[in-house]
Structure 1
Amino acid sequence: MFRTAERRLENAARRAACLALRGKTGEKMCTRGKVLTVANMNPFVKTMEYAVRGPIVIRAGEIEQELAKGVKKSFTDVIRANIGDCHAVGQRPLTFIRQVSALCTYPELLNDPKMPSDAKDRASRILKACGGESIGAYSDSAGVRVIREDVAKYIAARDGHPCSPDDIFLSTGASDGIKNVMKLTMTGETGNKRAGVMIPIPQYPLYTATIAEYNAHPIGYFLDEDNGWALSIDELKRSISEARTQCQPRAIVIINPGNPTGQVLTRKNIEDIIKFAKEENLLLMADEVYQHNVYAAESEFHSFKKVLMEMGSPYSDMEMASFMSTSKGYMGECGFRGGYSEVINFDPEVKAMLVKSISAKLCSSVSGQAVMDVVVNPPQPGEPSYELFNKEKTEVLSQLAEKAKMVTETFNSMEGIRCNKVQGAMYAFPRITLPQKAIEAAKAKGQAPDAFYCFSLLEDTGICVVPGSGFGQLPGTFHFRTTILPPVAKLGEMMERFRQFHNNFLSKYS
């Protein structure tokens, strides 16, 4: 029905365009419309959704323009808590990262006596490994060799197990690396023969968007909100069992620390997941971009590779890909788009196909690669930049820990809101109990109840958060995701605006 209506509208528009041209020229000038229309374009692109930059964010931009034009509102600015973009909300770049980046971009600065020697050493090493000693040259498809060597050393030191630079693939952010690996798992079939990818619910929308784009099947497994967003093996078994009639399960994605949920998996939980993946013959995909972001005293980051190796054979022989980014952690260098994948135990022929696939894109951003090198090869004790680097890094992480506690406690002090402890990452994912009148009002507007709540929050306070329905949630529950990134004072102001809105919302609809 919808397709037929689309075609009628398309044909009517085409006829109108042709008539308009005839009127101007006196003769028939066209017989065809646009080559690409919404009706005939790739249907899988149309099904993609990316909640963190969806309709509510578009409306936030419109409100910012209204404020700039002098439109009076009950607030003076929009607080963008919808996306983990650290620098956009006031985090300052770390000095050493920007010094090395500047030296790589403008090598004349290597002669500047104000630049520290350790920054010059790193920049010189990177430049000498680049074609023409310039980051303006293409790198190898997998990335600049010396940077891949530094990544391998970083992983080996972190995990206590060897890492080969030949297993490292530098990417345009972690997102690109994730898509490169996920692409390998596709079957090229349709219906119940297409690939299935297990993803946590709630999940980061990159995964559902990519799965839709590749015409794969999302196998959602629910995280246990009542148990601190832990991962239940019984739930994994339920989800894969139900999915087998609809797809061919190929991989399991784990996000640790969690996005949007902010939990940190225990080692026991990781061991159980590895055993499950082995039993079900699944590729492990470990999204570990928040590995530096752990705040709760009782929590500790364990990489999947380390646990895999320490479990020994047959688990240490499993295929696994893990992902890291320059955009998160204490760095927050989102705009540089630096990232890496480590792939282990892949069939050599499959690995060759991965190289071929990324070669079609030539290489990732070399400036992003240079920033990744600083992340994995930071100043060491005794080097000129160590004290300042360590001070700036500690300040960022300690403030994030303070903000994680502030957000958790503030939400839990409000009627009708429950928020698990933010153990890590950069987000909270509170659960809201909405009055029936609010649910009915949302239905009347054609919106999901949590979207209705978030749009109301934006219009009344200027706070931009993302509805839980954009990440997936247990049916019958409502959530939203907010970052914890604004500066402490601004975050305090945001939480006060939120409290006033929430109380008024409950009064209006209770």
Structure 2
Amino acid sequence: MSSLQRVNPRVRGMRGSPQAALQSLAARITQEISQGAQKSFTEVIDVESGDPHGAGMKSISFVRQVLAVCLCPQLLKDKSLPLDVRLRAQSLLESCDGGSVGAYTPSSGLHRVRQSIAEFITRRDAGAPSYAKDIYISAGSQMAMMVLVKMMASGQGETPAGVLTPAPCPPKLPMLLDDAGLTLVPYRLTEERGWAVELDELHRALEAARGRCEPRAIYLSNPGIPTGHMQDRKSIEEVIRFAAAEKLVLLADEVYQDSVYGAGSEFVSYKRVLFEMDKHLSDTVELVSFHSLSSGCMGECGLRAGFMEAVNMDAGVMHYVDTLMCFDISAPVTGQLALDLMVNPPKPGDASYDTYTQEILLTRATLSQNAQRAWHFLNALPGMSCQPAMGGIFLYPSLRLPAAITEQAEALGVEPDALYCQRLLQEEGVIVGAGCQHGDAAAAAAADRRHLRLCVLVPPDACSPPNRKWDAQTRAQILNGDKVCTTARNQDQNRGRVAPLFPRRPSDGGTAGVSVKTPTWSTGSGRRCQRRQRSGRQSVNLHLPRPSLLLLGPGLSCWGPRRSIEYCMTADD
């Protein structure tokens, strides 16, 4: 294509991802380090990606062993492998044409795997019936979502179709809707109530959308992405009744259903709640739910497999789902087989049961403990707050950025939180997710707060105590903000703000600056920091370009196995 004008206007109109630019910058920085460039860090640490195996989490032995035998059938005779591994591999190979994972499968997936998924859903939902014909396997749950939303798009010249979408939402969902030609209709989750789905807000969003689009569906993620919130049964019932009254298709993204760890929380699927409601609802409300091999305890992102289940959808409509699925031929066969292993794991008495159970429990315990540690630490930071996550693998803290960052971002034409993340990467070699990629930039700006996305599913052995020379009392005082300001007036002014790296200390003593007793200490990355006098005030020189943009420490050190960071952000100095 010789001209940008020849590119499909719909493609040109797709919103970009600030995270793609950060990943590109990270790759360039990594290359520079490998070529000998001098940085204040020796590696780039990704705290955002949500790729458990990429972060160092171990795979589930049973899954990899069965796949190994399927890929190399000669291993069926290898008695060093557990018997149930060899029997399962043989059974799965028999379901493949020619007994080989190299053969094509039906576009909607292997019937054997679809049947296993249907049986899993029936068990999960206390007997609510599920049928293989309603299960569609795809190369990841997002691919299945794409098929659905493409079918909802309006024809040329018609009123655009819309999808009610939470703010914040998964980062790729807005781009997916753009690609399909659908209008994103945002509804705000209530952060102060644990990112709750509010019925009044759904009605407000729906009314605001009328006239500019025709809402046809409502999307929800449970557990929430990236917020980690959980909907209880009452909330799900309210949404179902709302969808029924407004004739909306329910799109339930439930990919983190096996990663629930919040106290008193349990996963209840939209389908189960629907089937336990009045018959006029359970027989009529259109529901499509999604699950994935990539998310949660399996974390097999690279195998590319997920599925959707369609409930109460017209048979004529589903014919076109089959048609669209044919364009992708089929999901990778190894991914399909791994789905079978995910929904039908070893049972008590099987040779692999104990090892499988131990590995799954370890993954869940790691996730829960990391989430708790990070949550406690984030809420101890000046200017930052974080709602507790009940499930999923992310935390979504909010923070108040200094005016200087906001003004610079406006001058550059970028979102302030995206600039924050860029500076953090350049100065500290740490990648975090910008909240603006989750569709909440406008509301966040109105509330004068921004958000970050942090992944907490990382290996337990990546957690190392930070190398600090501070005494415990000094450290506690700094983290609690006791050494940032001492007068009541300035405590009020600084409440809710990120503490400055170089706090002012006027000569009249009206405001006290940082007063660290220990004259020098190590940052954990080999650099030393010294207290010095500057223009009549005491300050801490971290030998960094200003501003240094994030405060991490022992609660977050699990994201940096060889390095931890503990710096406050520069404010208006």
In the superposition, the TM-score normalised over structure 2's length comes to: 0.80
Amino acid across the alignment from 2:154: T
Match of 1:368 among 328, 335, 349: 335
Tell me what 2:569 maps to. Answer: 505
* Partner deviation per Cα, 1:250-296 (whole Å, 9 max, x = no partner): 11110111111111111111111111101110000100000011111
- Write the distance in 2 (CA, Å) between the matches of 1:49 and 1:392: 39
Answer yes or no: is 1:289 the counterpart of 2:261: no
1:108 pairs with one of 74, 90, 93: 74
What is the one-letter code of the residue matched to 2:454? T
Change (3 A) 1:203 1:36: farther
Q: Is the 8 A contact 1:81 1:485 kept in 2?
A: no
Determine the C-alpha separation between the residues in 2 that align with 1:424 and 1:37.
46
Percentage of matched positions with identical amino acids: 36
Match of 1:406 among 364, 370, 373: 373
Deviation at residue 163 of structure 1 after TM alignment: 0.7
Alpha-carbon distance, 1:52 to partner: 7.1
Q: Distance in 2 between matches of 1:306 and 1:386?
A: 28
CA contact (8 A) 1:89 1:487 kept: yes
Counterpart residue type for residue 381 of structure 2: M
Q: Does 1:65 align with 2:122?
A: no
Cα distance in 2 between the residues matched to 1:211 and 1:36: 27
Where does residue 9 of structure 1 map in the other structure? none
Following superposition, the deviation at residue 495 of structure 1 comes to 3.1
Amino acid at match of 1:401: S
1:165 maps to: 132
Partner of 2:202: 236
**SS of the residue aligned with 1:253?**
strand
Which residue pairs with 1:76 in the alignment?
Answer: 42
Whichever residue aligns with residue 479 of structure 1, its letter is H
Query: Is residue 113–residue 337 contact of structure 2 (8 Å, CA) maintained in 1?
Result: yes
Instruction: Quote how far apart the aligned CAs of 1:364 are.
Output: 1.2
Aligned to 1:330: 297
The residue type equivalent to 1:141 in the other structure is: S
CA separation of 1:52 and 1:127: change in aligned 2, threshold 3 A: farther
Whether the 8 Å CA contact 1:194–1:248 is kept in 2: the answer is yes
> Cα–Cα, structure 1 residues 261 and 51, in superposed 2: closer, same or farther, change >3 Å?
farther
| Alignment partner, residue 458 of structure 2 | 486
Change beyond 3 A, Cα 1:52–1:388: farther
457-466 or 148-157, which deviates more: 457-466
Q: Distance in 2 between matches of 1:263 and 1:219?
A: 20
Q: Distance in 2 between matches of 1:486 and 1:421?
A: 18
Residues 291 and 306 of structure 2 are in contact (CA less than 8 Å); yes or no, is this contact kept in structure 1?
Answer: yes
Alignment partner, residue 176 of structure 2: 210
Q: What's the CA shift for 1:470? A: 1.0
SS at structure 2 position matched to 1:509: coil
Say which SS state the counterpart of residue 229 (structure 2) adopts: coil
Select which of 380, 387, 390 maps to 2:347: 380
Any conservation in 2 of the 1:196–1:248 contact (CA below 8 Å)? yes
Structure 2 counterpart of 1:505, one-letter code: M
Instruction: Report the Cα distance in structure 2 between the residues aligned to 1:491 and 1:246, rounded to whole angstroms.
Output: 50
Q: Does 1:278 align with 2:244?
A: yes
Q: Is 1:130 equivalent to 2:96 in the alignment?
A: yes
Shift of 1:108: 1.1
Which aligned pairs between 1:262-277 and structure 2 lie closer than 5 A?
A: 262-277=228-243
- Partner of 2:185: helix, strand, or coil? strand
The C-alpha deviation readout for 1:93-151, integer Å capped at 9, x for no partner, is: 11000011111111111111112121122211211111111111111111111111100
Report the Cα distance in structure 2 between the residues aligned to 1:489 and 1:59, rounded to whole angstroms. 28
User: How far apart are 1:439 and its partner, in Å?
Assistant: 1.3
CA contact (8 A) 1:148 1:168 kept: yes
In 2, are the aligned partners of 1:50 and 1:205 still within 8 Å (CA)? no
| Deviation string, structure 1 residues 215-255 (Cα, Å, up to 9, x no partner) | 11001111111110010011010001110111111111101
Match of 2:109 among 122, 134, 143: 143
The answer to whether the 8 Å contact 2:18/2:418 transfers is no
**What amino acid maps onto 2:43 in structure 1?**
D
User: Which ranges of structure 1 fall in alignment gaps of 5 or more residues?
Assistant: 1-34
Distance 2:417 2:19 in 1: 16
- The answer to which structure has the higher helix fraction is 1
Q: CA 1:258–1:190 in structure 2 vs 1: closer, same or farther (change >3 Å)?
A: farther
Give the Å deviation of 1:385: 0.2
Deviation at 1:158, TM superposition (A): 0.2
1:299/1:423 contact within 8 Å kept: yes
Q: For 1:489 and 1:50, how far apart are their aligned partners in 2? A: 35
- In structure 1, what is the Cα distance between the partners aligned to 2:301 and 2:243? 31
Measured in 1, the distance between the counterparts of 2:411 and 2:178 equals 29
Of 392, 415, 419, the match for 2:382: 415
CA distance in 2, matches of 1:90, 1:346: 41
Distance 1:117 1:501 in 2: 47
Question: Could you tell me whether the CA contact under 8 Å between 1:438 and 1:509 is conserved in 2?
Answer: no
Q: How many residues are matched? A: 474
Which runs of structure 2 are paired with 1:1-80 in the superposition (5 Å)? 35-49=1-15, 51=17, 53-80=19-46
Higher relative contact order (CA 8 A, sep 6+): 1
Name the CA distance, whole Å, in 1 between partners of 2:60 and 2:568: 41
Alignment match, 2:148: 181
Counterpart contact for 1:194–1:216, Cα < 8 Å: yes
State the distance in 2 between where 1:504 and 1:257 align: 32
CA shift at 1:491, angstroms?
5.5
Shift, 1:445, TM fit: 3.1
Q: What is the rounded CA distance, in whole Å, between the counterparts of 2:271 and 2:330 in structure 1?
A: 25
Equivalent in 553, 556, 568 of residue 496 of structure 1? 553
Find the aligned partners of 2:83 and 2:175 in 1 and give their Cα distance. Answer: 44
Is the Cα contact below 8 Å between 1:294 and 1:424 reproduced in 2?
A: yes
Distance 1:328 1:52, change over 3 A: farther
The equivalent residue for 2:160 is 194
Alignment-derived partner of residue 5 in structure 1: none
Amino acid at match of 1:217: T
Using the alignment, how far apart are the partners of 1:49 and 1:501 within structure 2? 32
Structure 2: distance between partners of 1:412 and 1:272: 31
1:343 corresponds to: 310
The one-letter code of the counterpart of 1:422 is A
Task: Output the amino acid matched with 1:509.
Answer: D
Q: In structure 2, what is the Cα distance between the partners aligned to 1:41 and 1:322? A: 33
Tell me the distance in 2 between the aligned counterparts of 1:132 and 1:410.
55
Cα pair distance change 1:402/1:164, threshold 3 Å: same
Residue 391 (structure 2) aligned to one of 410, 418, 424: 424
Aligned CA distance change for structure 1 residues 50 and 258 (closer, same or farther; 3 Å): farther
For the 8 Å contact 2:62–2:356, the answer to whether it is kept is yes
Cα deviation, 1:175-194, whole Å, max 9, x if unaligned, reads: 11111112221222356x11
Conserved 8 A contact 1:52-1:205 = no
Residue of structure 1 equivalent to 2:546: none
Q: Which residue of the partner structure matches residue 21 of structure 1?
A: none
Q: What code does the residue aligned with 1:230 have?
A: A
The CA RMSD measured in Å over matched residues stands at 1.8
1:314 counterpart (274, 277, 280): 280
Q: CA contact under 8 A between 2:433 and 2:452: conserved in structure 1? A: yes
Q: Distance in 2 between matches of 1:435 and 1:340?
A: 44
